[in-house]
Protein backbone atom coordinates (compact mmCIF):
# COMPACT_ATOMS: atom_id res chain seq x y z
CA UNK A 1 0.00 0.00 0.00
CA UNK A 2 1.25 3.48 -0.88
CA UNK A 3 2.11 5.51 2.19
CA UNK A 4 0.71 9.00 2.72
CA UNK A 5 2.30 12.16 4.14
CA UNK A 6 0.23 15.19 5.08
CA UNK A 7 2.59 18.15 5.19
CA UNK A 8 2.44 21.69 6.53
CA UNK A 9 0.59 21.02 9.78
CA UNK A 10 0.45 24.11 11.98
CA UNK A 11 -2.82 24.17 13.96
CA UNK A 12 -4.20 22.01 16.75
CA UNK A 13 -7.11 21.27 14.40
CA UNK A 14 -4.65 19.83 11.88
CA UNK A 15 -3.39 17.39 14.51
CA UNK A 16 -6.95 16.34 15.34
CA UNK A 17 -7.59 15.66 11.64
CA UNK A 18 -4.53 13.48 11.12
CA UNK A 19 -5.01 11.66 14.42
CA UNK A 20 -8.49 10.69 13.23
CA UNK A 21 -7.51 9.84 9.64
CA UNK A 22 -4.11 8.27 10.34
CA UNK A 23 -1.76 9.09 7.47
CA UNK A 24 1.66 7.45 7.73
CA UNK A 25 3.60 10.71 8.07
CA UNK A 26 2.94 14.22 9.40
CA UNK A 27 5.13 17.02 8.06
CA UNK A 28 6.21 20.15 9.92
CA UNK A 29 7.83 22.96 7.92
CA UNK A 30 10.70 24.86 9.57
CA UNK A 31 11.71 26.82 6.47
CA UNK A 32 10.28 30.20 5.48
CA UNK A 33 6.76 29.46 4.29
CA UNK A 34 3.18 30.36 5.09
CA UNK A 35 3.13 26.94 6.78
CA UNK A 36 6.30 27.54 8.82
CA UNK A 37 6.23 26.60 12.51
CA UNK A 38 8.69 27.41 15.28
CA UNK A 39 10.31 24.72 17.40
CA UNK A 40 8.02 25.51 20.31
CA UNK A 41 4.91 25.44 18.09
CA UNK A 42 5.98 22.14 16.56
CA UNK A 43 6.67 20.76 20.02
CA UNK A 44 3.13 21.51 21.16
CA UNK A 45 1.65 19.97 18.02
CA UNK A 46 3.82 16.86 18.19
CA UNK A 47 2.98 16.34 21.86
CA UNK A 48 -0.61 15.69 20.78
CA UNK A 49 0.19 13.69 17.63
CA UNK A 50 -0.77 10.02 17.49
CA UNK A 51 2.38 8.01 18.27
CA UNK A 52 1.79 5.79 15.25
CA UNK A 53 2.24 8.70 12.83
CA UNK A 54 5.86 9.41 11.92
CA UNK A 55 7.13 12.97 12.34
CA UNK A 56 8.88 14.64 9.39
CA UNK A 57 10.75 17.93 9.71
CA UNK A 58 11.15 19.96 6.51
CA UNK A 59 14.27 22.13 6.24
CA UNK A 60 15.71 24.28 3.44
CA UNK A 61 19.46 24.98 3.39
CA UNK A 62 19.47 25.28 7.18
CA UNK A 63 22.56 25.25 9.35
CA UNK A 64 23.16 21.57 9.99
CA UNK A 65 23.60 21.98 13.74
CA UNK A 66 20.20 23.66 13.93
CA UNK A 67 18.72 20.72 12.01
CA UNK A 68 20.31 18.25 14.40
CA UNK A 69 19.20 20.21 17.46
CA UNK A 70 15.62 20.47 16.21
CA UNK A 71 15.50 16.82 15.23
CA UNK A 72 16.81 15.74 18.64
CA UNK A 73 14.53 18.06 20.62
CA UNK A 74 11.40 17.02 18.73
CA UNK A 75 12.40 13.38 18.30
CA UNK A 76 11.79 13.62 14.56
CA UNK A 77 11.61 10.33 12.68
CA UNK A 78 12.65 11.82 9.34
CA UNK A 79 14.55 14.87 8.13
CA UNK A 80 13.35 16.18 4.77
CA UNK A 81 15.83 18.43 2.95
CA UNK A 82 14.24 20.73 0.40
CA UNK A 83 17.16 22.96 -0.60
CA UNK A 84 20.52 22.53 -2.29
CA UNK A 85 22.04 20.32 0.40
CA UNK A 86 24.89 18.18 -1.04
CA UNK A 87 25.74 14.58 -0.16
CA UNK A 88 28.33 15.81 2.35
CA UNK A 89 25.52 17.50 4.28
CA UNK A 90 23.38 14.35 4.18
CA UNK A 91 26.28 12.23 5.47
CA UNK A 92 26.56 14.44 8.54
CA UNK A 93 23.00 13.49 9.46
CA UNK A 94 24.09 9.91 10.04
CA UNK A 95 21.66 8.19 12.38
CA UNK A 96 18.61 9.93 10.96
CA UNK A 97 16.38 8.87 8.09
CA UNK A 98 16.82 11.53 5.40
CA UNK A 99 14.56 12.36 2.46
CA UNK A 100 16.08 14.60 -0.22
CA UNK A 101 13.82 16.65 -2.46
CA UNK A 102 14.69 16.86 -6.16
CA UNK A 103 13.00 19.24 -8.56
CA UNK A 104 11.77 17.60 -11.75
CA UNK A 105 11.02 20.22 -14.38
CA UNK A 106 12.31 18.34 -17.42
CA UNK A 107 14.15 15.16 -18.38
CA UNK A 108 17.34 16.88 -17.15
CA UNK A 109 16.09 16.51 -13.59
CA UNK A 110 16.18 12.73 -13.88
CA UNK A 111 19.99 12.79 -13.82
CA UNK A 112 19.86 14.08 -10.24
CA UNK A 113 17.80 11.17 -8.92
CA UNK A 114 20.79 8.90 -8.41
CA UNK A 115 23.31 11.44 -7.12
CA UNK A 116 22.07 11.61 -3.53
CA UNK A 117 22.79 9.08 -0.79
CA UNK A 118 19.47 9.64 0.93
CA UNK A 119 17.03 7.11 2.34
CA UNK A 120 14.34 8.33 -0.07
CA UNK A 121 14.04 10.87 -2.88
CA UNK A 122 11.10 13.26 -2.91
CA UNK A 123 10.12 14.47 -6.37
CA UNK A 124 8.26 17.70 -6.99
CA UNK A 125 8.17 20.60 -9.43
CA UNK A 126 10.42 22.72 -7.25
CA UNK A 127 8.89 25.32 -4.91
CA UNK A 128 7.01 23.22 -2.42
CA UNK A 129 3.44 23.82 -1.34
CA UNK A 130 2.50 25.57 -4.57
CA UNK A 131 -0.17 23.13 -5.72
CA UNK A 132 1.61 22.71 -9.06
CA UNK A 133 2.57 19.29 -10.38
CA UNK A 134 5.21 18.28 -12.90
CA UNK A 135 4.74 16.00 -15.90
CA UNK A 136 4.71 12.56 -14.28
CA UNK A 137 5.38 10.89 -17.63
CA UNK A 138 8.93 12.28 -17.43
CA UNK A 139 9.76 9.70 -14.75
CA UNK A 140 7.43 6.93 -15.86
CA UNK A 141 9.33 3.64 -15.90
CA UNK A 142 12.50 5.13 -14.39
CA UNK A 143 14.33 2.57 -12.26
CA UNK A 144 16.03 3.74 -9.08
CA UNK A 145 17.02 1.78 -6.00
CA UNK A 146 15.91 4.54 -3.63
CA UNK A 147 12.25 4.79 -2.56
CA UNK A 148 10.40 7.60 -4.35
CA UNK A 149 8.04 10.01 -2.60
CA UNK A 150 5.85 11.88 -5.07
CA UNK A 151 4.86 15.46 -4.25
CA UNK A 152 3.79 18.60 -6.05
CA UNK A 153 0.23 19.44 -7.03
CA UNK A 154 -1.37 16.27 -5.71
CA UNK A 155 -5.02 16.22 -4.63
CA UNK A 156 -7.86 13.72 -4.38
CA UNK A 157 -8.72 14.22 -8.04
CA UNK A 158 -5.32 13.26 -9.44
CA UNK A 159 -3.63 11.11 -6.80
CA UNK A 160 -4.86 7.82 -8.29
CA UNK A 161 -3.48 8.68 -11.75
CA UNK A 162 -0.23 9.87 -10.16
CA UNK A 163 0.25 6.60 -8.29
CA UNK A 164 -0.56 4.50 -11.35
CA UNK A 165 1.93 6.47 -13.45
CA UNK A 166 4.84 6.83 -11.03
CA UNK A 167 4.28 3.89 -8.64
CA UNK A 168 5.87 5.75 -5.71
CA UNK A 169 6.63 4.46 -2.25
CA UNK A 170 4.64 7.37 -0.80
CA UNK A 171 2.67 10.48 -1.80
CA UNK A 172 3.06 13.85 -0.11
CA UNK A 173 0.35 16.52 -0.07
CA UNK A 174 -0.02 19.95 1.48
CA UNK A 175 -2.00 22.60 -0.40
CA UNK A 176 -4.03 19.89 -2.16
CA UNK A 177 -5.86 19.14 1.08
CA UNK A 178 -6.50 22.77 2.03
CA UNK A 179 -9.41 25.17 1.68
CA UNK A 180 -8.59 28.88 1.85
CA UNK A 181 -5.10 28.06 3.09
CA UNK A 182 -6.14 25.78 5.94
CA UNK A 183 -6.14 22.00 6.19
CA UNK A 184 -9.57 20.57 5.34
CA UNK A 185 -10.54 17.35 7.11
CA UNK A 186 -12.82 16.11 4.32
CA UNK A 187 -10.12 16.70 1.70
CA UNK A 188 -7.56 14.83 3.79
CA UNK A 189 -10.03 11.96 4.16
CA UNK A 190 -10.69 11.80 0.40
CA UNK A 191 -6.99 11.97 -0.43
CA UNK A 192 -6.01 9.18 1.94
CA UNK A 193 -8.93 6.99 0.88
CA UNK A 194 -8.08 7.28 -2.81
CA UNK A 195 -4.31 6.89 -2.32
CA UNK A 196 -4.81 3.70 -0.34
CA UNK A 197 -7.47 2.22 -2.61
CA UNK A 198 -5.09 1.08 -5.32
CA UNK A 199 -2.97 -1.63 -3.69
Q: What is the CATH number of the domain that holds 29?
A: 3.20.20.70
Q: What is the mean pLDDT of residues 29-49?
A: 97
69 is catalytic: no
* pLDDT(65) > 90: yes
User: In whole numbers, what is the pLDDT of the chain averaged over residues?
Assistant: 90
Average pLDDT over residues 4-12: 98
Establish whether 172 is a catalytic residue: no
Catalytic position from the list 7, 14, 24, 172: 7
Interatomic CA distance for residues 157 and 121, integer angstroms: 24
Number of domains in the chain: 1
pTM: 0.92
CA end-to-end distance (rounded Å), the chain: 5
Q: What is the pLDDT of residue 127?
A: 55
How far, in Å, CA of 46 to CA of 192, rounded?
20
Annotated active-site residue in 14, 24, 124, 172:
124
% of the chain surpassing 70 pLDDT: 88
Across 17-21, 76-80, 111-115, least confident range: 111-115
The confidence score (pLDDT) of residue 125 equals 72
Tell me the per-residue pLDDT of 132-162, one tens digit each, with 9 for 90 and over. 566 777 676 666 788 999 998 899 999 999 9
Q: Give the distance, in angstroms, between the CA of residue 79 and the centroid of all CA atoms in the same chain.
A: 10
Is 57 buried (19+), middle (13-18) or exposed (0-12) by CB count in 10 A? buried
Domain range for 69: 3-195
Amino acid sequence: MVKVKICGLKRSEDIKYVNALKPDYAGFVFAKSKRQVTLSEAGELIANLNKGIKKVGVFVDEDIEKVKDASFALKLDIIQLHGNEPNEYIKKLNGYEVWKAVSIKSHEGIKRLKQYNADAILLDQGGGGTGISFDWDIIKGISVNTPIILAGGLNSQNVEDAIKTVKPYAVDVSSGVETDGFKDCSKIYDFIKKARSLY
